[in-house]
Amino acid sequence: MTDRVIVHVMVRGRVQGVGYRAWVEDQAILNGVEGWVRNRADRSVEAVFAGSADDVAVMVAACRHGPPAARVDGVTDTPATVDQLALRRPAEEFSVLPTV
């Protein structure tokens, strides 16, 4: 089994108003990944994923494509902290958070 990792992801492109956050939530649940996703005022989408290195890598790769209506221009991923993961709602494995 691979080690647990936490990754912060920023997604740019046409990623708001296309069901991107709901799609990320569905993909995270399917892949057994914890974390959260939210829109940002600059029209990007931000997420934190936690799980096995393999499962998180699958999520980051999926974000590079997104749902059918999305147009992803760029994805950056950097190591994240437990404090960033803790922004999700209590008792939820994965949360869709309000826009910041």
Q: Contact 13/84 with Cβ under 8 angstroms?
A: no
Q: Contact 67/16 with Cβ under 8 angstroms?
A: no
In whole angstroms, give the CA distance from residue 70 to residue 16: 8
Nearest by Cα to 59 from 82, 89, 80, 83: 80
Catalytically active residues are 21, 39
